[in-house]
Structure 1
Amino acid sequence: MTLWMACVLALVLDYVLGEPGRLHPVVGFGQLATAVEKRFNTAPDKAWKSLFTGWFSVLLLMAPVLGVALWVSVTLNGVLRVATEAITLWLAISLRGLTEHGLAVAEPLRKGDLEVAQEQVSRIVSREASALDEQGVAAAATESMLENGADAVFASLFWFLVAGIPGVVLHRMINTLDAMWGYRNPRFLYFGRAAARLDDLMGWVPARLTALTYMLLGDRKLAWRCWRNQAPQWDSPNAGPVMAAGAGALGVRIGGPSPYPSGVKHRPVLGGVQAAGSASVEAAIRLVWRGVWLWLGVVLMGAVLLSLVVN
């Protein structure tokens, strides 16, 4: 029951306060990661050396923080423990931030202001936003809501429920390092492989639970068909099921050719046949919110049943 209480408190904090901005621990961790990468990623073209320094850098950054998280989880009890768990989870999730970023794109799209919508979507995706039409902006934002729902909400909830404070801290660190180093470019091809592989590993189960959540709360038949047939075509083993099932649940079409600064990237089409628009962005946000309520309900039910069995 205490885990459920911590989850609820964390979501309340997120809803009321949002993210703490520049004072966010993840920002500080990211700055430290940048310094470490500059210090050790000195020979990106030398595969074995770069692979070794990449693994070493990941361990160097994570070990002290994980040690503190383990110590806190072992020593704290009672109300102080629940409060600490709630604050830690609040700092890891970003449900309000996801909602605000999505609505910032959907609202100008609904008003027909493409330029503002392009500017806002450029804040959440790496695409060449100025080259996107209305449908392209909406598809990009819809994809971001579905994928970040998995990374920034459900994966954090999952690892907190599985391993408490150490679990959610470990996942957030790995996910942050993957976002910073997990690029397939000359600088990070080898150095960033450790972070990318660890992120794939930690995200495997949460991604599929997220896909299942989306499927249960939308068009089940289409979501399952998209998950089964389309997800394997995606280049990410975790983003594929999440976005395919999510797009199928909404009946919306995402993916396809997209402009990036390096050129047009031809990606598989995911989902149904309905063109993306402001409504699909808002529907994706609602899908994530409903998924959170579903998870809370399942956790509460599990806690009640466990207490009945124990007593």
Structure 2
Amino acid sequence: MAEPIALTVLALDAAFGWPQALYRRIGHPVGLFAGIIGGCETRWNRPGHSVSTRRGFGVLTLLILLLVAAGPAWIIQQLLLSAFGASGWIVVAILAWPALAQRSLFDHVRAVADRIDSGDLPGARTAVGAIVGRDTAALDEAGVARAAIESLAESFCDGVAAPLFWLLLLGLPGVWAYKAINTADSLIGHRDARWRAFGWAAARFDDLANWVPARLSGLLLCLAGGGWRIMWRDAAKHASPNAGWPEAAMAGALGLRLAGPIAYDGVMHDKPWIGEGTGEAGGDDIDRALALYLRACLLLWLIAGGAAWLR
């Protein structure tokens, strides 16, 4: 039953994204997760607590998130399929729809390219700042383009391939459990002193949840555009055990260098380069990256459609 659900979710997301009218009225489900994380962090992540205590509270926070995300989703899915039989999957697909960011990711990265193409570097910095965590105020055009392309590659996993993978594997509870874990990692799964202990569980569970989807994402990007040698060579250069796979695949397919020195909160981090090439990235390279992304998404459609047909 998961296969037609996945294909329908892909189609809904490609056609509509998450409409602004809905967002204004009801927000987005990850907002609920963020609220829970924020409340738990305020109450439990206190400097006076020991490292082990804060780590334990971080584990408890993640368990609460998973209970809130997966518990109701499992009950609703069971009720729908029991009450409506085969037709219940349509409602399940609608409830899973907000978990994918296929259209939203394309639109956000396209906005960066549009501003670069129009010569609006400040606007491009603002646009890319909406999708990356690094400092963007001092980025030149090449830095903005690299940031957009890196975000596109990494978010192809986090926002498209991984949610779809868990939807196919575990249905509605699987996709929302993944989104809860991924949201927790993005908010508290950091290595600085404030978050290291409290966000430990979120970071480790996110690594585990993305292990297969990240490698699948790299595979799909290489199938769509090449880059195999760079992916195998450079995936391990990334600090994340997972993000390097789609990022190295994207770098290899485009013939660009990505990553490199990056500033966060005013502190420069000397990260290694991923990929190779002598030219600087620009708006045209974002266009090429988006075309590659669309081909990789099409492969996901073929996987979901083929699984549904075989079923």
TM-score by length of structure 1 reads 0.91
Measured after TM superposition, the shift of residue 11 of structure 1 is 2.7
1:238 matched residue in structure 2: 242
C-alpha displacement of 1:120: 0.9
Which position in structure 1 is the counterpart of 2:16?
17
Match status 1:38 vs 2:42: yes
CA distance in 1, matches of 2:7, 2:91: 13
Cα 1:262–1:130 change in 2 (3 A) is closer
Which secondary structure state, in structure 1, belongs to the residue aligned with residue 137 of structure 2? helix
The separation in 2 between residues aligned to 1:95 and 1:301, in whole angstroms, is 19
Equivalents in 2 of 1:262, 1:51: separation in Å? 27
The 10-residue stretch of structure 1 (155-164 or 34-43) with the greater mean CA deviation from structure 2: 34-43
**Preserved CA contact (<8 Å) 1:131 1:259:** no
Q: Which residue of 2 aligns with 1:228?
A: 232
Which residue identity does 1:229 align to in structure 2? R
Helix, strand or coil for the counterpart of 1:235? coil
1:38 Cα shift? 0.7
User: Contact 1:147 / 1:243 at 8 angstroms: preserved in 2?
Assistant: yes
- Rounded to whole Å, the distance in 2 between the matches of 1:305 and 1:41 is 49
Q: Given the alignment, which residue of 75, 83, 102 partners 2:79?
A: 75
Aligned to 2:274: 270
Q: Does 1:134 align with 2:148?
A: no
Give the fraction of aligned pairs with identical amino acids, expressed as a percent.
38
Equivalent position SS for 1:217: helix
Q: CA deviation at 1:79?
A: 5.0
Q: Kindly indicate whether the alpha-carbon contact (under 8 Å) linking 1:44 and 1:191 is maintained by their aligned counterparts in 2.
A: no
Residue of 109, 115, 120 corresponding to 2:122? 115
Question: How far apart, in 2, do the equivalents of 1:44 and 1:153 lie?
Answer: 39
Q: What's the C-alpha RMSD, in Å, of the aligned pairs?
A: 1.7
Is the alpha carbon distance of 1:15 and 1:61 closer, same or farther for their aligned partners in structure 2, counting shifts above 3 Å? same
Deviations 1:167-222 (A, max 9, x none): 10110000001111111111111000000000000000000000000011112xxx
Task: Confirm or deny: 8 A CA contact 2:6 2:304 kept in the other structure.
Answer: no
Structure 1: distance between partners of 2:95 and 2:292: 24
Shift of 1:57: 1.3
**Residue 302 in 1 paired to residue 301 in 2?**
no
Inter-partner Cα distance in structure 2 for 1:34 and 1:201: 23
TM-fit CA distance, 1:296: 1.8
Secondary structure at the counterpart of residue 165 of structure 2: helix
Mapped partners of 1:192, 1:235: distance in 2 = 17
Cα deviation, residue 246, structure 1: 1.6
Unaligned runs of 5+ in 1: 307-311
Q: 1:260: how far off?
A: 2.5
123-132 or 295-304, which deviates more: 295-304
Q: Where in structure 2 are there 5+ consecutive unaligned residues?
A: none
Residues 217 and 291 in structure 1, CA contact (< 8 A), matched pair in contact too: yes
Match of 1:309 in 2: none
Residues 65 and 3 of structure 1, relative CA distance in 2, 3 Å threshold: closer
Equivalent residue, structure 1, for 2:5: 6
- Structure 1 residues 294-303 or 204-213, which shifts more? 294-303
Which stretches of structure 1, 4 residues or longer, exceed 3 Å deviation after superposition?
none
Following superposition, the deviation at residue 284 of structure 1 comes to 2.0
Letter in 2 for 1:15: A
Output the amino acid matched with 1:258. I
Matched residue type, 1:292 = C
- The one-letter code matched in structure 2 to 1:267 is K
Matched, 1:56 2:43: no
Instruction: Say if 1:89 and 1:156, in contact at 8 Å, map to a contact too.
Output: no
Return the offset for 1:262: 3.1
Asked if 2 retains the 8 angstrom alpha-carbon contact of 1:69 and 1:166, the reply is yes
**1:45–1:264 distance in 2 versus 1, CA, 3 Å:** farther
The answer to whether the Cα contact below 8 Å between 2:7 and 2:304 also exists between their aligned partners in 1 is no
Query: Normalising by the residue count of structure 2, what TM-score does the alignment of the two structures yield?
Result: 0.91
SS in 1 for 2:263: strand
Partners of 2:195 and 2:48 in 1: how far apart? 7
